[in-house]
Amino acid sequence: MKKRVSCISQILVVVFFTLMVVIDFFPDIGITKSIGTIGVIIFLVLAMLTRHKGEPEYKSSKQEFIFTLLGGIYIFSILLTLTLLGGVSQAGIGLNNPILWGVYIVGVLVSYTKYRKELKSRNNS
C-alpha cells in the first residue's frame, strides 16, 4: 500500500508540475500558480514520506539513465507543444534556454557514465 501511494504521489507531482508550466505559458487561463505549487509540494512530501527507507530510487543505473532521458524528452515535448500553441513563458523557460539544455545534457551524461561503469563491472566479474 505504501509503495502504491508513493507511486501515485510521484505521478501527481508530474501532473501538477505540468500544470504549472502550462500556467506559465498561458497565464490568462484562469488558474493561479499557487494551486500548482501547493499540489507539487503536497504530493512531493507525500511521495518522500511513503518511500521505503534504505531502498534505492532506481533498481539499476540503466533504469536511471532511461528515466533521465525520457524525463527530458517529456519536458522538452511540453515546451515544444506549448510554444507551438502560441504560448510564451513568463519565467523564460523555453527551448532556446541554454541553462535548461545544459542541465539536461549534464544529467544524461552523468547517468550514462554510471550505466557504462555498471556494465563494465558486470562484464569483469
> Amino acid identity of 91?
A
User: Which three cell numbers mark 4?
Assistant: 502504491
Residues 48 and 84 in one domain: no
- How do residues 66-80 score in pLDDT, each as one tens digit? 989 999 999 999 999
For residues 39-60, average pLDDT: 72
For residues 88-99, average pLDDT: 90
Residues 122 and 63 in one domain: yes
For residues 112-120, average pLDDT: 90
User: Which three cell numbers mark 36?
Assistant: 500548482
Q: Which residue has the higher pLDDT, 111 or 51?
A: 111
Residues 75 and 106 in one domain: yes
Q: Is 91 helix (H, G, I), strand (E, B) or coil?
A: coil
Domain tally, the chain: 2
Residues 70 and 118 in one domain: yes
Residues 79 and 116 in one domain: yes
Q: Where are the alpha helices (DSSP H) in the chain?
A: 2-25, 33-50, 61-84, 98-124
∠ CA 45-48-52, nearest 5°, is 155
